[in-house]
Amino acid sequence: MKILGPLVMVLAIVFAAWVGTACLHLYTFFGVVLPYAAIACFFVGFIIRIVRWGKSDVPFAIPTTGGQQKSLPWIKQAKVDNPFTYWGVVARMALEVLTFRSLFRGAKAEKTEDGLHIGSSKWLWLGALAFHWSMFIIVLRHLRLFLDPVPAWLGVLESFDGMFQIGLPIVYLTDVLIMAGLVFLFFRRVVAPRIRYISQPMDYFPVALLLTIAITGIVMRYGFRVDITAVKEVTMGLVTFHPVAGENIAPILYMHLTCVCVLMAYFPFSKLMHAAGIFFSPTRNMPNNSRAVRHVNPWNYPVKVHSYQEYEEEFGEKMKKLGLPLDGDE
């Protein structure tokens, strides 16, 4: 049920969009009301999560590091793996976000008949990198539907994405990579016993939803072609707040759009928020300077400091009787 449940939910979403447009002709709901509601849910939920994270106290300096901390001058410091300054943190974070560096360098332990085997996570790194970068480029390509005029750099990006000139219409490289990445990430959870054991329905649902979005989008481009002019009228209407109900567009567009809307509404309340959460993680966004800077726990209750001078003023007479030296006697 952990796998079947999310798949049934995604199929139900697709079926509801098809029935709602092809049979019930609810174009205004699926083309106007639902997108606006999803966008509002996305931004409100996103802001709430960010504000909540931003207000959270960080009681200790807990950056996770993988190299030599800054210490003595003749000991070489790992400036990226173990940053001492905030610029070092920026460099480390950039490598983490853009290249998934920690995942690339990670290892996994597996128990075999011969004993404990230490393996690499390179396949996971490659699949994750292919999916995330392809998703990013595809989102940029879709800006063509929301901008008028279309900027020149977008045409350059599309030319680069279709540089192999395969098929007509030209097959985009990102379409192939995102499918390969999503299929790998999905079947990794299904096939690997250890990953399948710890996976929950909330882990399968977003992957299945993203797969459905990718499949319906690819089918629209290379199979059931839709009127791109009518599609842009709908998207530009949403952007300019002059919505248009695209009644002459094939239902597959609304199946695709409905899945995107569900993903947007689901995003702020799911594990997908790791996309923003990584910037708020104290294990990543703090320099490892605890030897040079004192970090005070904000959870500590106020404590009145009793200096030695105040101690002498309070107990000086008793100390003299006991023959103990006082600073004031020097």
The runs of H, that is alpha helices, within the chain are 4-18, 27-28, 34-55, 86-99, 101-104, 122-141, 152-161, 173-191, 193-198, 201-222, 228-239, 251-266, 274-277, 308-321
Cis peptide before 243 (omega within 30 of 0): no
Place of tokens 């966008």: 39
pLDDT for residue 330: 57
- Tens of pLDDT along the chain (330 residues) come to 688 899 999 999 999 999 999 999 899 999 999 999 999 999 999 999 999 998 888 888 888 888 888 888 899 998 888 899 999 999 999 999 999 988 888 766 666 667 666 666 788 889 999 999 999 999 999 999 998 888 999 989 988 888 877 777 788 999 999 999 999 999 988 888 888 888 888 999 999 999 999 999 999 988 887 888 889 999 999 999 998 888 888 899 999 999 999 999 999 999 999 999 999 988 888 999 888 888 888 888 887 777 788 888 888 888 888 888 877 665
Domain architecture of the chain: domains with CATH = 4-299 (1.20.950.20)
Q: What is the largest CA-CA distance in the chain?
A: 101
End-to-end, the C-alpha distance of the chain in Å comes to 81
How buried is residue 207: exposed, middle or buried, by Cβ count under 10 Å (0-12/13-18/19+)?
Answer: buried
Q: Could you tell me the CA-to-CA distances from 221 to 72, 122, 215, 282 in Å, in that order? A: 60, 32, 10, 43
Radius of gyration of the chain (CA): 28
pLDDT for residue 321: 84
Tokens of residue 148, six digits: 């008028």
- Give CA–CA dist 69/78, Å, rounded: 7
pLDDT for residue 64: 85
Contact 104/122 with Cβ under 8 angstroms?
yes
